[in-house]
Amino acid sequence: MLYFRGFLAVVMVGCGLVILARMLAVANAGFAIVPGVLLGAAMIALGIHRISLILRIRKIT
């Protein structure tokens, strides 16, 4: 289960990176990219948070 959660977290970081990169590619659109950029950043943050939690659990056990 832990490996599966880890995999999901990595997928989330990857997906966030893709969104962020694609939104930044059209950065000249101004305000319209803000929600997409926030989404990408939030996905990366959540993914990293989950990975760090999983690593901490593995250290304990």
CA 26 to chain centroid: 20
- Of residues 3, 6, 13, 23, which one binds another protein by CB under 8 A? 23
**Is residue 60 involved in binding another protein (CB under 8 A)?**
no
- Of residues 29, 55, 57, 58, which one binds another protein by CB under 8 A? 29
DSSP string for residues in the chain? -HHHHHHHHHHHHHHHHHHHHHHHHTGGGGGGGHHHHHHHHHHHHHHHHHHHHHHHHHHH-
Q: How far is the CB of 61 from another protein (least distance, A)?
A: 17
Q: Point out which residues bind another protein (CB under 8 A).
A: 8, 11-12, 15, 18-19, 22-23, 25-26, 29, 31-33, 35-36, 38-39, 42-43, 46, 49
